Amino acid sequence: MFKFCSLFSGSSGNSLFVSAGNTKIIIDAGLSGKRIIEALRSIGENPAELSAILVTHEHSDHTRGVGIMSRKFNVPIYANQRTWGMMEREIGPVVAENRQYFDTGAEFEIGNVVVKPFAIPHDASEPVGFNFLFNGKKVTTATDIGHITKDLLNNFYMSDLILLESNHDIEMLKVGPYPWHLKKRILGERGHLSNEMAGKVIAHLAENGTRKFLLGHLSRENNFPELAYQTVYNALTEKKLCVGSDITLEVALRDRTSMVVEL
């Protein structure tokens, strides 16, 4: 059985959990080790049983606890070479056997799970999202996305569950407290995905067969869960897709675990 849970997802810190049998993986560790350990235990998981930590990119809201978790539980860290080059000083010492490298676009295996990292447009060295494949099921995680491309959609298709970024409301961002250079970055081609665009993508994916969606990486200052949910809900409704019967739609929160999804 595939299990997935967002431990934390937002601009202040990110960590996701996926498991299949005895293979247990966290994607990013952007909070303190203590908080990630507590979150894992709250969903009945033992941090000492982790098989791997996958890293999407080097920004601190995705890496703050990576080194701590690896050292405490002797867990291998998987990242591409450019991400390793940018984060290794920040995460502290990692023993040689726990320094694992993958090539973006190339599938590899962790236990009984096939993992495919795919490129995303974001202002980091070589950022990725992930497909997880097990027993005919596919889970996809994709945040920190500046804009949607055909390659991204190709990686999203046929997902049974996708956690997709719904970072900001455009109007809230424009009138909010951020300085102009930060607003420009977030709205740019290598920034973050808005609620509106997330709605369009999710409606398209729903029309192509995906039925379970989680909205992730919400901004604390430029979004709130009810607005992100309603924007995507409206996009689905416009396509005559019924949330609750045809479609499952949830919001992954910044400060607590989401529901555990089983596939």
**For 28-39, how does the pLDDT look when each residue is reduced to its tens digit (9 = 90+)?**
999 999 999 999
161-198 pLDDT per residue, tens: 999 999 999 999 999 999 999 999 999 999 999 999 99
Tokens 């235990």 appear where?
41
Chain Cα centroid distance, residue 215: 9
Cβ atoms of residues 61 and 13 within 8 Å: yes
Within 10 angstroms of residue 107's Cβ, the number of other Cβ atoms is 12
Q: On the CB side of 262, how many CA atoms lie within 13 Å of its CA?
A: 3
| pLDDT at site 246 | 85
User: Which residues sit opposite 216 in a β-bridge?
Assistant: 165
Where do the H-state alpha helices sit in 76-210?
81-91, 150-156, 170-175, 180-187, 195-207
Beta strands in 35-75 (DSSP E): 52-54
Instruction: Please state, rounded to an integer, the average pLDDT across all residues of the chain.
Output: 97
Q: How far, in Å, CA of 19 to CA of 111, rounded? A: 10
Domain enclosing residue 170, as ranges = 2-262
For residue 91, the domain's CATH number is: 3.60.15.10
When divided into structural domains, the chain yields a total of: 1
Which residue in 163, 220, 221, 227 sits closest to 195, CA to CA? 227
Percentages of the chain per state (helix, strand, coil), in multiples of 5: 35, 25, 40
The encoded tokens of residue 76 equal 């291998």
112-145 pLDDT per residue, tens: 999 999 999 999 999 999 999 999 999 999 999 9
86-116 pLDDT per residue, tens: 999 999 999 999 999 999 999 999 999 999 9
Residue 83 amino acid letter = T
54 falls in which pLDDT band (50, 70, 90)?
very high
